[in-house]
Amino acid sequence: MYSALLAQGRQSLGLFLGGVPLKSLQKRLSCSCIFLRALVLLPLLTACDNPHEQPLGIASSPWPGYEPLYLAKEIGYLPQEKAKLFELPSSDITLEAFRNHSADMATLTLDEALDLMDSGVKLRILMALDISNGADAVMVKPHIKKLSDLKGKRIAILNIPLGVYMLSRTLDAAGLSREDVTVIPSAESKHEEMYRLGKADAFITFDPFKTALAKQGAQVLFDSSMIPNEIFDLMLVREEVFQARREDVCHVARQWGRTLEYMRQEPDAAAESIAKRLGVTPQEYLAMVQGIKTPTLQENLALLGGNAPGILNAAKRLNTLMRNEGQLDHEIDINTALVPDLHTCVTD
């Protein structure tokens, strides 16, 4: 029943998103979230009775960089009584699940964290899960050979901050303006079908959808390796959950680090397990993560802790671009979302 409702909800949400400006959409969703809450709350309702005794609810969406979470569950590092993982079909639903208090924690990007903070959501950045280094890409029909060829073309983008951000960076690199292209907001799960049916010429997407498009004949025109250290995937936790359940939250962070160590020591077993979950071969999974950098614990402490957290420069660049694009109403100080004593949280 849940799967059927989720599929129906994805289709309905796709219709709801089409043609609606991002900021307008977010304000409408914040005020009118009854449908979405009914959709994402189905597996979480039991957490309402006595939240301190319930496992943390972690919302996520398909992305190779999030796979260590599912591996942690499989190998027993994140048992069901500690945390429940809910894989939603797309990142826009994950974003709204977190915004509407339907999840305690969520895997989202830095631009999505800024968007949440701009709308008044109080949160903490617990971990930097990965940095995109080629995994986010503009995939195009084979006849499009260079960036300037995008002029006059139809570009399907994710109707979330990351989609608009990648579009802006792509158009900047191409020397084009928004008026030079036709933008089609769409869920990433629809891109393969749109490619097959000829409904768009270019697709701003990410793995595993990027790999699926490549199998259809699409080629990479622009990717995140050309804009290094700009796209971060993060583990976010709602402020009230962090304050009330700090030890439980920090346990999740520590098990993430423990799982990365397992992957380092048992690379073949880890790749086989993750590939099986994704429905690809181990070689295909390893190819996907070639475009992702996964920070170590020490790199996380440098990015999110200390006197000069490394993530600040990326956050400032995003702030400027997102405000210019009308995605943010305020200048966001990411420092307020950082954990002051991160080291004691993420280490045993």
- Tens of pLDDT, residue by residue over 90-140, are 888 999 999 999 999 999 999 999 999 999 999 999 999 999 999 899 999
Beta bridge partners of 183: 155
Mean pLDDT on 297-302: 93
Q: To which CATH superfamily is domain 136-226 assigned?
A: Periplasmic binding protein-like II (3.40.190.10)
Q: Is the pLDDT of residue 301 over 80?
A: yes
Mean pLDDT on 18-45: 40
β-pairing verdict for 56-60 and 202-206: unpaired
Cα separation, 118 vs 185, in Å, equals 22
Cα separation, 344 vs 165, in Å, equals 34
Instruction: Specify the pLDDT at position 165.
Output: 87
Mean pLDDT on 196-220: 94
Residue 112: closest CA among 101, 100, 127, 96: 96
Residue 47: closest CA among 103, 94, 126: 103
Place of tokens 């690379």: 267
Mean pLDDT on 238-260: 96
Assess whether the region 2-132+231-346 and the region 136-226 belong to the same CATH fold.
yes
What is the domain partition of the chain in residue ranges? 2-132+231-346, 136-226
- What strands, in cross-sheet order, belong to the sheet with 123-132? 83-87, 56-60, 105-109, 232-238, 123-132, 292-293
CATH (residue range 2-132+231-346)? 3.40.190.10
Instruction: Specify the pLDDT at position 90.
Output: 84
Amino acid at 212: A
Q: Is the pLDDT of residue 309 over 50?
A: yes
Beta bridge partners of 235: 107, 127
Of the ranges 35-44, 233-242, 290-299, 326-335, which one carries the lowest mean pLDDT score? 35-44
Mean pLDDT on 10-21: 33
Instruction: Specify the pLDDT at position 45.
Output: 41
pLDDT-derived band at 164, boundaries 50, 70, 90 = confident
Q: Is the pLDDT of residue 207 over 90?
A: no
Q: What share of the chain in percent tops pLDDT 90?
A: 70
Q: What is the mean pLDDT of the chain?
A: 85
